[in-house]
Amino acid sequence: MPKKKTFEQALSRLEEIVSNIENNQTTLEESVKLYKEGIELSIFCGKQLIMFLMRNLLIIQRNKYG
């Protein structure tokens, strides 16, 4: 992903890609490019979710053990 996106932007683009591929709105070549972009977006979103969970676990640990 060339420019920095928010989680919401990445997820929205991923949903758009899935819809385009599912509805056969692209050629095979375009579908392959979109699939690659979708994988990259999926990895980005997954990493963002993991970071969110880790931050929340740290907050819970600090509150629990002071």
Distance CA 54, CA 52 (A): 5
- The pTM (predicted TM-score) of the whole model is 0.81
pLDDT in tens, 45-66: 999 999 999 999 999 999 988 7
* CA atoms within 13 Å, Cβ hemisphere of 12: 5
Which tokens hold the place of 20? 């385009």
- Please, what is the average pLDDT of the chain? 93
* CA atoms within 13 Å, Cβ hemisphere of 48: 14
